Amino acid sequence: MKRIASFEVNHDKLKPGMYTSRVDGDITTYDIRMVYPNAGTYIDPAAGHTFEHLFATFARNSAWADKVIYCGPMGCQTGFYFLVRDMQPADAILLVQQTMDFVAAYEGEIPGASRVECGNCKLHDLAGAKVLAASMIPVLRGWTEENLVYEK
């Protein structure tokens, strides 16, 4: 079988940040890498689950809501994929930065976390999601389109 593009990325050189994973026509997939791969520290499932709920809620209520397709966790528990349609890279960076600020400061009930709304409603950790988002704020400060390219 043909190797998929994400397996071509050198994970030994990958640092936390935001990268263009692939472009398929008008759809861009961003790799929001939140921890160093294979370093022994991974995203806690409960914190990641809450982060996902908050990211999706914020992004789908933003000025770019009609361009947001998906935000979801990587199976390796080192980050998230963020898919958008017809969105300028600078706007995607800004939205991710604003989302990190939103999640880091969030207080209140977790959106969509009731038994009726969520398939694993007991697996949530708001404090952990806030720490995760807060850790990305300094990483993404000053991020530009030039930073979106994976290091070879």
Q: 46-56: b or e for each residue (b if 16 or more CB lie within 10 Å)? A: bbbbbbbbbbb
- Amino acid 131 reads V
> Which parts of the chain register pLDDT below 50?
none
- For the chain, which domains are there? 11-137 (3.30.1360.80)
SS3 for 36? Answer: coil
Q: What is the spatial distance between Cα 1 and Cα 8, in angstroms, rounded to a whole number?
A: 14
Q: What six digits make up the tokens of 68?
A: 């947001």
pLDDT at res. 6? 72
